[in-house]
Amino acid sequence: MNNWLRSIVATLALALGSGGLAGAAEFGPVAHASRAIALDGQIDSGDEQLFAKALLQRYGRGEKTEYLRLNSPGGNVYAGARIAEVVHRLGLKVVVGPGEQCSSICMVIFAAGASRGTVPDLLRFGTALSEGRLIGPTSLALMRTPMRTRDGKIAGFPRTDGYAMGWSVLGQGKDCVLFHDGGQQETRTMLIVDPQAHVTVASAQNYERDIHPPLAFALYAAATGKAFPIKPA
């Protein structure tokens, strides 16, 4: 028996010994993602058992599980902690879909996932990107060139010079500054890359309100000696 299955069986045996399979959350497949399982709804006592059983059933059908998609407001702390333990043991990657939620004990499950981004990770990524170690010169040029809509207008967010390959662009050509921010329930991050100045700034917060840009902009100014070139409001 491999370690993956042994972890599930051990967890399932322990869970089944603690009571019946009640639970409140639903565990099921994810559309167009054969290697993913979904957790939907409030987490209640017994859901740790249902989760382990669902994983074991998938294994029995020959279905590999690599991802867990979360959509939950939280719930029972014990059940959530047990689910998080299984996620950690199996090295499952955890995602929260657009418009979905992950709060309270659900965030512990999210944090237990194998795919977790930290500020040092963001800094390494941004630095490698600006130094041309991730993509070639042609792709780097496209990354600095704002996209256009069908009617020829430059696409982008307010206070920027456009949007290119997932980045908001400030300035033109090799002198431009790139940044990207985003978040989900209870987290937000920002990454700024200035290839010409050889500066990368990353910030992260465990707070959902969009309050981190001023901090990231101040860090950029401290590192470069110039104000962050965001357009006036």
Residue with tokens 């207008």: 153
Sheet containing strand 199-205, strands side by side = 163-164, 167-170, 177-184, 187-194, 199-205
Instruction: Provide the 3-class DSSP secondary structure of residue 25.
Output: coil
pLDDT, one tens digit per residue, over 168-224 is: 999 988 789 999 987 765 677 899 999 889 999 998 876 666 777 888 999 999 999
Q: Is the pLDDT of residue 11 over 80?
A: no
Return the CATH number of 3-112, one of 3.10.450, 3.30.750, 3.30.2120, 3.40.50: 3.30.750
Percent of the chain topping pLDDT 90 = 33
Domain boundaries, the chain: 3-112, 119-224
154 secondary structure, DSSP code: B
Q: Look at residue 131 in the predicted model and tell me its pLDDT.
A: 87
Pairing of strands 33-40, 26-30: antiparallel
Q: Is the pLDDT of residue 18 over 60?
A: no
pLDDT, one tens digit per residue, over 77-135 is: 999 999 998 898 888 888 887 678 888 999 899 888 876 666 877 888 899 988 888 88
Instruction: Give the residues across from 10 on adjacent strands.
Output: none
Q: Which residue has the higher pLDDT, 73 or 10?
A: 73
Q: Look at residue 23 in the predicted model and tell me its pLDDT.
A: 65
What is the token pair recorded at 8? 């599930």
**Contact by Cβ (8 Å): 44, 50:** no
